[in-house]
Amino acid sequence: MREIKFRAWIEKDKYMFYQDNQYLNSFVRRVCMFLADMEHESYLDRNLDEYLMQYTGLKDKNGKEIYEGDVVTTDGDNEPLTVRYAEGPAGFFPFWALGNTYLYKVVGNKYENPELLK
């Protein structure tokens, strides 16, 4: 069973909160109260400048935890890919598509490092 953890990007402060932070724990509780009524992503994107990301349960080749929103590359390909949950095959892209997470390296995330995706 994988470990369930979250982090949150707070746009107005340009700051990433991780699981053990008191603000993040409160934020996760607030989001959970609304999930029954709204789409997770649309609620966060339209009503707040706060973005909740879940830990994939995977680590990159250097042992760094991989979260939704992280930007990863492989040694053989310099094209950055953004980690996201895909419902079609039900898993985190690009890992269900390309496999072998030990080939990937986290190089940043789409909030703190938007220049990686240009």
Write the CA distances from 17 to 6, 7, 91, 92, integer angstroms.
9, 6, 24, 21
Residue 109 has a pLDDT of: 95
The single-letter code of the amino acid at 42 is: S
Q: The domain at 6-117 falls in which architecture?
A: Roll (2.30)
Question: What average pLDDT does the chain have?
Answer: 76
Q: Which residue has the tokens 């053989």?
A: 76
Residue-wise pLDDT tens digits, 14-49: 888 876 656 666 766 666 665 545 554 444 444 557
Give pLDDT, residue 43: 46
CB-count exposure of residue 109 (10 Å: 0-12, 13-18, 19+): buried
Task: Report pLDDT digits (tens) over 44-58.
Answer: 444 557 788 889 888
Q: Which residues contact 89 (CB under 8 A, 6 or more apart)?
A: 96, 97
State the first-to-last Cα distance of the chain, in angstroms, to the nearest integer.
36
